Amino acid sequence: MGETVNNRIRVTLEIGPKGKKVVAVAPDWPGLQRGATTEEAAIERLLAYVPRYAAVTKLAGMEGAFATHPVVDVVERTQGPGSTDFWGISFGFSGIDRQGLLGDELERELMLMQACWTFFDDVRARVSAELRRGPRGGGRDRDHIVRHVFANEQDWVKGLGVLTPDGALLTDEGLKAHRDAYCSAIRDYHSQDKWAGKKAKWPLRYLIRHTAFHTLDHAWEMEDKDLTAKEA
């Protein structure tokens, strides 16, 4: 991409209305965000995931622009909705999310979202079908997680006017068609300066980073619960 590395990383902090959870978001790197109970803990968690996110930047061909030991610049604090406190996930829009995107900026963000998809596909191909359970036997297996991720994307893309047939994402051909349509629809909405959604409107920056985060969060979950080594 011809970018030069910067050892600083911009971070926005989304604070739940009751202050129970704070989410640190790296707006320049879609998918890199972590939640915790305090601002300091959220930033610390985000930084702990920087080495894992580096794999995504490599897939996108942007590893040269990504600092693996960055200095954090908190550039914005915003109040999120109740879901921020409940889930510890970003459900609000920052000022950066609301900013317009130039064409090359949009393509950069789409490349990173696509790299998150590629990373997810790699993880689901190599982890065990059965995943490590929680202390009380809770948790989901690999295929359950994959279907959950696909079902959410199938729902979100409706906000771009795209209807993906049920079950289509479970085939290689259908998954490629869905993802191509997802990106094409985002480009189309961008060209019209429109937000995604029919009733609940999402800025395109938010849609991209939320899609990337959800994909990565569950890819990392599968990695952390993989039983392949144990089976070997």
Quote the percentage of the chain above a pLDDT of 70: 95
Quote the percentage of the chain above a pLDDT of 90: 89
| Mean local confidence (pLDDT), 33-47 | 98
Q: Cα dihedral sign for 80, 12, 66, 111?
A: positive
pLDDT of 2: 45
Cβ atoms < 10 Å from Cβ of 164? 20
pLDDT of 136: 60
| Mean local confidence (pLDDT), 128-156 | 90
- Please write the tens of the pLDDT for every residue from 156-211: 999 999 999 988 999 999 999 999 999 999 999 999 999 998 777 999 999 999 99
Whether 220 and 116 have beta carbons less than 8 Å apart is answered as no
SS3 210: helix
Q: How confident is the model at residue 230 (pLDDT cuts 50, 70, 90)?
A: low
Percent helix, strand, coil in the chain, to 5, is 55, 10, 35
Whether 36 and 22 have beta carbons less than 8 Å apart is answered as yes
- Please write the tens of the pLDDT for every residue from 4-27: 557 899 999 999 999 999 999 999
Whether 94 shows a pLDDT value over 50: the answer reads: yes
Whether 97 shows a pLDDT value over 60: the answer reads: yes
Q: How confident is the model at residue 3 (pLDDT cuts 50, 70, 90)?
A: low
Q: What angle do CA 228, 231, 232 make, to 5 degrees?
A: 90
Q: How far apart (Å, rounded) are the C-alpha atoms in residues 195 and 165?
A: 23
In the DSSP assignment, the letter for residue 200 is S
pLDDT of 135: 66
Q: Taking the model in full, what pTM does it have? A: 0.94
pLDDT of 138: 72
pLDDT of 229: 73
Q: Which domains does the chain have, with CATH numbers?
A: 8-97 (3.30.160), 100-231 (1.20.120)
Q: How far apart (Å, rounded) are the C-alpha atoms in residues 125 and 160?
A: 29
Q: Where are the beta strands (DSSP E) in the chain?
A: 8-15, 22-25, 33-36, 71-79
Sheet order of strands, 22-25 included = 33-36, 22-25, 8-15, 71-79
Q: Which residues of 43-70 are buried (b: 16+ CB within 10 A; e: fewer)?
A: bebbbebbeebbbbbebbebeebbeeeb
